Structure 1
Amino acid sequence: MRIFWQSFVDASASAPYMTRLQDYLNGIAAPGVTVEVAGISPPDRDFGRLSELRCAILAIDNGLAAEDAGYDAVVMGHFQDPGLYELRASLRIPVIGTGEASFYAAAQLGRRFGLVTLDSVFETWHLEQAALYGLEHRVVGVRGLDCTPADFSDAFAGDDDAHARMCAAFAACAQPLVDAGADVVIPAGVLPGLLLSRERGLTVGRAPVINCAAVALKSAEMWVQLHRLNGIEPSRGPAFALSPARAREDFRALVARGRGPQTAGGDTAS
């Protein structure tokens, strides 16, 4: 089984994280499963909707290429899941969203949960996610670490003091959510999720902390197995109607060549 994992960070600028993530995922993967982690350049460096959309377009294109290359599943390894539904509607192989999988895993572990995200700007996005997944009434709140991917680099490079500082910052963000009634804590990002992966049975108070990286990978393995077992796919009705070949080709051409010259009517000039 081959799984393609799409990260939204730059493979060079965040090399310690990418190396750690690749090693971690392959280390916990089931026998016979390999995971390839890919980055995006420029990464999601200007937190906001336009940056998320740009990265989502590249991630969708990479997902289409991954299916053509023979991968068995694609994981959107960016918690906000931008482009998830569009990609799921375009592939015959399973497509897993890290955020979606983590929300539903948390819903099986407790009734109410809180999210600790990378930056406070993502609070609205995560609340929208919860509503999209039908879980908005179970979210106590969202708190941001207000940091960047680069802030994790020393911890992933083996600096124990940096690791301890980042863990302490996460716990400080999570505690008010637990005090407010959250009985599960979700690291709303693979960066903090991977940071905490060294901790076994981690809790904040009595609230377990989800390992979103592990949840996404194991969800991918499960859905590949189920797909192989009986051919199950997402609904191909209105929810995830399969994109026709021409739509895939038009999308990939747009990404590869850009918009190109346009006539007044919107058609490409000859």
Structure 2
Amino acid sequence: MKIWYQVSVDFAHHQTFARHLHAYANHVASPGTSVTVHGMDPDIGRGLPQADVLLSPVSYHQTIKRLFLRNARKAEAGGYDAFVVGTYAEPALRELRSLVEIPVVSAAESTLLTAFSVAPKVAMIGLSQQTVPFNRASVTRHRFGERVSGIYTVNEVMLERTLDQQFDAPQEYIDQFVAAARIAIAEGADAIIPTEGVVATIVGVNGITEVDEVPIIDGVGVPVICAETAITLRRRLKIGPSRKRAYVRPSPEALKVLFDTL
């Protein structure tokens, strides 16, 4: 199996994160599965800081959504068997599933569904306050609100330049994550999801699988394994996205006119 794992981070500025994410995604994958991790395309991001890309809706539309739509088509054309939306903001998820035939797996949706299989109430712990609105939007999109006990952060603010440093000396960051998890547990969480790639990768790489008997849902491993499952379901049982209403495919003519220039 070949899996394209797409995130929105500019790897040119976060090479340590890119290296750890790629290694960990392939570590958790099944034998014979290859996971290729992709970040921001230079011609789309143009070196802009993450804050400029994420905080303005129109900038987000012109960069992140365009990135995911274009690269999902690249993945399908390049022979990949599944495309993972590795950012918990789930950019253009509905559009992606209508655009390609290969399975599109959302990190947010897959980890939440997995968490619900082992716990009645689930908390999400993100990178910073900037990520909270995106997490809330994902919960609302999937109508999971009744089972999400809260959305928390490791830090109120996380500056771009400090992201990679967490991998070289992770203990302080892990301690902060555990402290946030304990607050979430005290407020009703029976499972915890570390959301966004940096948090999920640090937690996964360092083997944090539970806090005070509460399971930590692997935010990188689960999407990879769910992508493998989606591939198997498609191959063996012919299960794919609904084309009746939810994920109607564009006509071949529309694909050529609208998407060949992405």
Instruction: Calculate the TM-score normalised by the size of structure 1.
Output: 0.87
TM-superposition CA deviations, 1:219-254 (whole Å, max 9, x none): 000010111112211111111112222332233345
- Distance in 1 (alpha carbons) for counterparts of 2:162 and 2:215: 24
Aligned identity (percent) is 25
AA at the equivalent of 2:27: G
Structure 1 residue identity aligned to 2:175: A
Partner of 1:225: 232
Q: Do the aligned residues in 2 keep the contact of 1:9 with 1:44 (CA within 8 Å)?
A: no
**What amino acid sits opposite 1:83 in the alignment?**
A
Q: Find the residue that maps to 2:152 and give its secondary structure.
A: strand
Moved beyond 6 Å, runs of 4+: none
CA drift at 1:7: 1.2
Distance 1:51 1:172, change over 3 A: farther
TM-score, normalising length from structure 2? 0.89
Partner of 2:25: 25
Pick aligned residue for 2:170 from 154, 159, 163: 163
Once the two structures are TM-superposed, the CA of residue 136 in structure 1 deviates from its matched residue by: 0.4
- Aligned counterparts of 2:60 and 2:221: Cα–Cα separation in 1: 23
Distance in 2 between the 1:72 and 1:5 partners? 11
* Aligned position for 2:90: 81
Q: How does 1:91-240 map to 2 (within 5 A)?
A: 91-144=100-153, 145=155, 146-156=157-167, 159=168, 162-200=169-207, 202-240=209-247
Q: Pick one of 68, 72, 82 that aligns with 1:63.
A: 72
Preserved CA contact (<8 Å) 1:44 1:52 = no
Question: Which structure exhibits the higher relative contact order, with contacts defined as CA atoms closer than 8 Å and separated by 6 or more residues?
Answer: 2
Quote how far apart the aligned CAs of 1:175 are.
Answer: 1.8
Deviates more, 1:214-223 or 1:237-246: 237-246
Bigger mean CA deviation after superposition, 241-250 or 231-240: 241-250
Q: Distance in 1 between matches of 2:173 and 2:159?
A: 12
Superposed CA offset, 1:57-109 (max 9, x none): 11111111110111111011111111111111111110101111111111111
Q: CA–CA distance in 1 between the matches of 2:84 and 2:49?
A: 17
Residue 123 of structure 2 aligns to a residue in which SS?
strand
The two structures, once aligned, show a CA RMSD in angstroms of: 1.8
Unaligned runs of 5+ in 1: 256-270
Give per-residue Cα distances to partners, 1:174-225, cap 9 Å, x unaligned.
Answer: 2221111011111111211110113446322232111110000000000101
What is the letter of the counterpart of residue 130 of structure 1?
V
Contact 1:45–1:51 (Cα < 8 Å) also in 2:
no
Aligned length: 251
Distance 2:66 2:234 in 1: 26
Aligned counterpart for 2:50 among listed residues 45, 51, 63: 45
Q: CA deviation at 1:24?
A: 1.4
Residue ranges of structure 2 left out of the alignment (5+ in a row): none
